[in-house]
Amino acid sequence: MSGPRVLLIEHERSTPAGLVKDWLEAHDADVNAIAIAEAAEHEMPRAYDLIVSLGSDASAYDDGVPWIGGELQLLGEAVAADVPVLGICFGGQLLARALGADVFRAREAEIGWGEVQSESVDLIPVGPWFQWHFDTFSPPFGARLLAHSEAGPQAFVQGRSLGLQFHPEVDIEIINNWTVLYRHELDEHGVDADELLAHTRAVAGTARKVSWALLEAYFERIAQVSTKASR
């Protein structure tokens, strides 16, 4: 049996799919990766078994960004058509907005590794999870809040879709690249890049296991897209 057909929405080259891509490959997924800012045509959600929206430098509430309106429409159409959406960081915020929630600047940035307060540890393990964001959102009306931190919501589910504020896709290579590309943000918020990388190396194995567990639980029990893949 062939794997699921997946639309993978990328926003910048600096936000690769990482572990999510590994997981999809393990499930023999037929992945159509698009750079949403360069997409010439509007994708039809019904053509896919799953839509994954990754992180972005942009703010999900900034309608001055030319492509945000199109992706917002796409995610709304997917939810209406009962096509599951997995939104990660920016993608989770935009999914929340597509469901009618507000997205706004957070009082404090979250950068680094930490745990979340989970209401359902079988779906959302407590961590460690990697955070790098400056915005937050209100839980969509009717959604089930699965996890939160002092900074705001961290995970919610509505229907077959899951929005995440943290980054289950990251690995050492991704974070190493981010510490170079976004060093100015680390400096601005008093985060030591060398300490962040050392922490990443220390928790990498555990982080991969909890990320894989989250993806498996989501796909099997909520999205109901695929069967278990081997690590």
Annotated catalytic sites, by residue? 89, 167, 169
Token readout for 121 is 């540890």
CA nearest neighbour of 51 among 4, 3, 98, 101: 4
Q: How far apart are CA 156 and CA 190, in angstroms?
A: 29
The owner of tokens 């896919």 is: 48
- Cα gap 150→77, rounded to integer Å: 32
Assess contact for 166 and 118: CB atoms under 8 A.
Answer: no
Alpha-carbon gap, residue 144 to 166, rounded angstroms: 17
